[in-house]
Amino acid sequence: MSLKTCSKCKVNRLVSEFDKNKVKPDGLQNQCKVCRQAYRDANKAKIRESDRQYRLNNLSVLSDKAKQRYTEDPDKVKSRVNKYYHANKHTTVASYRQREKEAISKRQREYRQNNRELFRQKEREDRNKRPERYRAKYASRRVRKLQATAPWADNKTIATFYTRAAELEGSTGVKWHVDHIDPLQGHLVCGLHVAENLQVLPASINCSKNNSFKPYIQNDRGTFYLDVKYKLVKDKEIYGIFL
Ligand SMILES: [Zn+2]
């Protein structure tokens, strides 16, 4: 095996330790692989920028060459692209997002602004398909306005009430609401938007409640509510009348 002296580190090395370069008289790079790699490592940003400039200045030449490579052997190109994509997808996608963070969010913002009607339409369609998601969303929005959230509220459990209401609506064919047992804006007391204060009720009953706090009695036989017409009720059964 013949030797060649690296123009950078001046070490005599095997020709296999040099990259190929068709333009050079001996078909090899002047610097050894180690020196060239060291240069690339030390000048990453500079090289990336000059590569970018080169690509911008030679768009048509490069795309013609790429087309030619594809025409000659499409499977080779496909498998190379595929292999590269799968080997690097996490790092390349993440670094691209990181690098272009501002540009991406600007683009998304503009897209949303220019397609506002499309987004509204999509939300309407989605709301018809998965109403329970939106009910929980709108309820929590309403509740946030009322400042009735408790720091210990369990949002997952709260969401199950809205799912249950949607299920009951599907099986019974009438509207069901998630009701706050003690109303959020009651006349006497204000309830909280927490699972402990939620119940699923047919809308007809819920709407007749009219945000009034019902005084109740709790004893070993259960909880008895005093309804608006001064009847003592449990499970819709009337137990007595208050005068
Ligand atoms: Zn060298």
Element (H, E) at 162: helix 155-172
Rounded average pLDDT over 86-98? 85
Beta strands (DSSP E) in 106-234 are 176-180, 198-202, 216-219, 222-226, 231-234
Beta strand 237-241 with 231-234 is antiparallel
Q: How far is the CA of 61 from the centre of ligand 1 (A)?
A: 32
Tell me what pLDDT residue 137 has.
Answer: 73
CA of 22 to the centre of ligand 1 (A): 19
Torsion of CA 61, 63, 65, 71, to 10 degrees: -150
CA of 2 relative to ligand 1 center, distance in Å: 16
Residue 92 has pLDDT above 90, yes or no: no
The arithmetic mean of pLDDT across residues 225-240, rounded, is: 54
Q: What digits encode the pLDDT tens for the residues 113-170? A: 899 889 889 888 988 888 877 877 777 667 665 666 667 778 888 888 888 888 888 8
191, 183 Cβ separation under 8 angstroms: yes
Residue found under tokens 């080997």: 87
Res 227: pLDDT = 56
The pLDDT of 190-217, averaged and rounded, is: 71
pLDDT-derived band at 188 (thresholds 50, 70, 90) equals low
Nearest-angstrom CA–CA distance, 30 and 81: 30
Give the pLDDT confidence score for residue 44 in this predicted structure.
Answer: 94
- Contact predicate 217/223, CB 8 Å: yes
Q: What is the 3-state secondary structure (H, E, C) of 95-125?
A: HHHHHCHHHHHHHHHHHHHHCHHHHHHHHHH
Going from the Cα of 9 to the center of ligand 1, the distance in angstroms, rounded, reads: 4
The alpha carbon of 17 and the centre of ligand 1 are apart by a number of angstroms equal to: 9
Give yes or no for a contact between 163 and 178, defined as CB atoms under 8 angstroms apart. Answer: no
- Please report the pLDDT score of residue 243 as a whole number: 34
The answer to whether residue 85 scores a pLDDT higher than 90 is no
Q: What separation in angstroms does the CA of 67 have from each of 52, 58, 64, 75?
A: 19, 14, 5, 13
* Residues near 137 by beta carbon (within 8 Å), at least 6 away in sequence: none
Distance 23 CA to ligand 1 centre (A): 19
| Alpha carbon of 87 to ligand 1 centroid (Å) | 30
8 C-alpha to ligand 1 centroid (Å): 5
**What average pLDDT does this structure show over 26-33?**
95
Q: How far is the CA of 4 from the centre of ligand 1 (A)?
A: 10
What percent of the chain stands above pLDDT 70?
79
Exposed e or buried b per residue across 17-28, where buried means at least 16 C-beta atoms within 10 angstroms of its C-beta:
bbeeeeeeeeeb
Closest by CA to 153, choosing from 213, 198, 189, 200, is 198
Check residue 146 and give its pLDDT. Answer: 64
Q: 180 falls in which pLDDT band (50, 70, 90)?
A: confident
CA of 18 to the centre of ligand 1 (A): 9
Centroid of ligand 1 to alpha carbon of 12 (angstroms): 9
